[in-house]
A and B are shown apart, each in its own frame.
Chain A
Amino acid sequence: MKAKDRRLAELRRSIPEVSPEEALAMQKAGAALVDVRDTDEIAQGSPTGAHRLGRSYLELRVEEAVPDMDQPIVVMCAGGVRSLFAADALKNMGYTKVHSIAGGFSRWKNEGRPFEVPKMLDAEARERYARHILMPDVGEAGQLKLLNSKVLLIGAGGLGSPSSYYLAAAGVGTIGMVDHDVVDQSNLQRQILHREDTVGLPKVESARRALLALNSKLNFVAHETHLDSSNVEEIFSGYDVIVDGTDNLATRYLINDACVKMGLPNVHAAVYRFEGQLTVFWPEYGPQHGGCYRCMFPNPPPPEMAPSCAEAGVLGVMPGTLGLLQAVEVLKILLDIGEPLVGRMLHYDALGARFTELKIRTNPNCPYCREGAEFPGYEDYAQVCASTKS
């Protein structure tokens, strides 16, 4: 008798085997069905509702899917052999009720039990996004979500440069950018999306070249226009997340109002000299019920109080870090992982490399975001000078 057969005989004594019919009944009663086959096998079909964890990373990923050690588990492979070894590994981790499906997926399918052909990444995408697929927080399903997502960035400057770059790299399928400026030499000290040979071109065109050079599969939508109340909803519609990287205060109010009205998450960042701030305005988000920009600043300051229109200095790398933090928040929202920065504001002091977090209060009487509010309408503010250009 070979060692393999001896070991299998041992496993059959210690791991209870169930038929596909019994496994289905157990699944309906709350058991976790864990499919340990390889991705190319799963691409041919996998039981409906199964956790497709594979074998290689099973021990690393299983707790995410099945946190309760006493939840019954039925393990499936193609023919019922590998699932015995996998079931044994789960038992060794401390799972108390582990079963193996005799006959595996081939018998499951032959007996007409329910299965689906999951949407999968192709081989190239699996290689490209390998480092994401390895993360329990992302995985293949998360990567598919990103590829089907649409993100709109307002501003292709200091904040929009790194955020759009990393969103394109991370595999967000559609990226739109709104900007009506052209690339200037003074941008290149921090706006890494642009380059010497795109000086003078519209920023959205320079951005399109840079982002498609990084990821030629990206669907890039250029909006070379100034955002105003007449076009904001048309431009925003269809996007999942809005990223505010504008340097214009009037535009910031418009972005806020449209996001509140349309129920879109607004990933906000602003930089001033060596300091930056980041938060997510998203009144509709879950338990926090975070407020909107107008909860903090109900109206733009009067002209005599507004900051000077002159350009302010900015440490080159400063908007870079903030734009990257925005990209993180966008991906977290799209993937539904961690806690978005709703109701809290991250403040970054680059001079001291210090981050602090502040709670931000929701105004319960905010005319824009309070519950049941009738939308008060858009305001096209005249030029209100922003604190800075990023």
Chain B
Amino acid sequence: MTERFDDAQLTRYSRHFLLKGFGESEQAALRSARVLLIGLGGLGGVAALYLAAAGVGDLTVCDHDAVELSNLQRQIIYGDADLGTAKTEAARSRLEGLNPDVLVRTIDQRLNGDRLVDAIEHADLIVDASDNFETRYALNRTCFRVGKPLVYGAAIGTAGQAAVFVPGNGTGCLQCLFDPEQDDPERDCHSAGVFAPLTGIVGSIMAGEAIKVLTGFGTSLAEHLLTLDARDMRMRRTLRPREPGCPICGTGG
């Protein structure tokens, strides 16, 4: 284990240390963790806030957009004064203001090809808070190639879902859930409405799942898909389908 926590940190994380099974070694695992978070919209913003609050030591946030007025209906990490600013910059200052112990790195461009592989290789865990299927499939593919756990979440209208994909555990990947040939462009959040707090629920659940994977605390959604509908508050946790012949994660493929 690395060096001990100082008094300020012991105070800051005191409510974690009071938890049975969550001690200094779990908090140290968060402090030494490197998390890559793709997409600083409704899901990514709140996930980043809770990861920073919980004490993740090294957080890389990636987004190439600037803050727009229509974001502020649900992206609580920003504010009126951030309009026009790069999301990565606005998020960095907000996250550092919440927890100065966190090293926040920013990537202000769309990652693909070698740069995506590089970024994923340098991280312990990847949070997919992107808003389009192209990015989602690329992240899934690369995480399975490089062997890094991937926390996935999505929200549209009043419906949301979350899952954790762990290469090598034999419980399938994103592509076992969806067919890239058939994905529906209408499901892109750019063209559809989204219920403000729904993105927050999914984003906070994603942060919780990331914390569980990084610390080994609790049972993550590594085998399940969580689906929720905010309209009538129905939540379901189901065993995920997996395709034995999946070209990404299948053993037969």
Q: B233 near A341 (CB under 8 angstroms)? A: yes
What number of A-B contacts does a CB cutoff of 8 Å give?
Answer: 216
Min CB–CB distance A300 → chain B (angstroms): 23
**CB neighbors of B among A143-202 (8 A):** 162, 165-166, 168-171, 184-186, 188-192, 195-197
Could you tell me the distance between the alpha carbons of A313 and B200 in the complex, rounded to whole angstroms?
A: 23
Q: A215 near B70 (CB under 8 angstroms)? A: no
Min CB–CB distance A147 → chain B (angstroms): 12
Could you tell me the distance between the alpha carbons of A312 and B221 in the complex, rounded to whole angstroms?
A: 26
Could you tell me the distance between the alpha carbons of A320 and B54 in the complex, rounded to whole angstroms?
A: 12
Return chain B residues, CB-CB under 8 Å to A165: 76, 200
**CB neighbors of B among A306-355 (8 A):** 311-318, 320-321, 324-325, 327-329, 331-332, 337-339, 341, 346, 350-355
In the complex with contacts A189-B15, A190-B15, A214-B72, A338-B208 CB distance below 8 A: no
Instruction: Please tell me the size bucket of the interface on A.
Output: 35 or more
Our pick among B13, B17, B54, B72 for the contact of A215 (Cβ within 8 Å) is B72
Is A234 an interface residue when CB atoms closer than 8 A count as contact? no
Is A131 an interface residue when CB atoms closer than 8 A count as contact? yes
Q: B19 near A313 (CB under 8 angstroms)? A: yes
Over the window 125-149 of chain A, the binary record of Cβ atoms lying under 8 Å from chain B Cβ atoms (1 yes, 0 no) is 0011111111111100000000000
Is A273 an interface residue when CB atoms closer than 8 A count as contact? yes
Min CB–CB distance B2 → chain A (angstroms): 19
For the complex, count residues of B whose C-beta is within 8 A of A: 69
Q: B73 near A188 (CB under 8 angstroms)? A: no
Q: A213 near B79 (CB under 8 angstroms)? A: yes
Return chain B residues, CB-CB under 8 Å to A127: 69-70
Our pick among B204, B224, B233 for the contact of A320 (Cβ within 8 Å) is B204
Q: B74 near A169 (CB under 8 angstroms)? A: yes
Q: B193 near A197 (CB under 8 angstroms)? A: no
Q: B50 near A312 (CB under 8 angstroms)? A: no
Could you tell me the distance between the alpha carbons of A185 and B14 in the complex, rounded to whole angstroms?
A: 10
Q: B80 near A214 (CB under 8 angstroms)? A: yes
Return chain A residues, CB-CB under 8 Å to B14: 186, 189, 311
Is B29 an interface residue when CB atoms closer than 8 A count as contact? no
Q: B97 near A195 (CB under 8 angstroms)? A: yes
**Other 18 A-B pairs with CB < 8 A, given A131-B196, A169-B72, A170-B197:** A129-B70, A131-B70, A132-B196, A168-B76, A189-B13, A189-B53, A192-B53, A213-B81, A214-B78, A215-B80, A313-B18, A317-B204, A320-B204, A324-B197, A331-B195, A332-B231, A339-B232, A346-B233
Chain B residues within 8 Å of A, Cβ to Cβ:
8, 11-20, 22, 46, 49-50, 53-55, 69-70, 72-76, 78-81, 97-100, 157-158, 162, 189, 192-198, 200-201, 204-205, 207-209, 211-212, 217-221, 224, 226, 228, 230-237
3 A-B pairs with the lowest CB-CB distances in the bound complex, closest first:
A313-B18, A134-B193, A313-B19
